[in-house]
Amino acid sequence: MLNSFYVYTMKDCTVYKTMNIIGKRWTIHILLELYKGEKKEKRFNELKRKLVYITPKILSERLKELEDKGLIANKIDDSTNLPKSEYYLTESGVDFIKIIQAIKLWGLKWKFQNEDCEKAICMYCDH
């Protein structure tokens, strides 16, 4: 009986539910890459170039999951022969960037000494 209580509690816990969305490998990296730079929309291949070790399959899966959860949106321009698809952060995704920045501050405080990162604004970082 005690075990089923914990399972029930975990499945209804907001933290657990949220981590099921953003806790998957590459998810935070994708959100950060969509945030970086002056250009707000990015194509699949742009993201793939920035996230060197991600496979196209995983990138495609994560983009779909993030779109389904409302953190990103996909704008499709089909006015040309080859439709152009671009991803961008939604209001929810932009709001989540604050959490990523808090993770950076925690890492700088407790785990990593990195003066360059400390001075850098994530939006304009090339790392």
For residue range 5-22, what is the model confidence (pLDDT) as tens digits?
Answer: 555 567 788 888 899 899
Domain span holding position 92: 2-124
Q: What is the mean pLDDT of the chain?
A: 89
Supply the CATH number for residue 76's domain.
1.10.10.10
Structural domains of the chain, count: 1
Q: Report the interhelical angle of 27-35 vs 91-110 (nearest 10°).
A: 110
DSSP structure string for 93-127: HHHHHHHHHHHHHHHHHHT---HHHHHS-GGG---
pLDDT attached to residue 3: 59
| Distance separating alpha carbons of residues 125 and 127, to the nearest angstrom | 6
Each residue's pLDDT tens digit, 77-104: 888 888 889 999 999 999 999 999 999 9
Terminal Cα-to-Cα distance of the chain (whole angstroms): 49
Residue 57 structure tokens: 């399959």
Going by C-beta distance under 8 Å and a sequence separation of 6 or more, which residues neighbour residue 18? none
Whole-model pTM: value is 0.85
The pLDDT confidence band at residue 62, using thresholds 50, 70 and 90, is very high
Average pLDDT over residues 22-40: 94
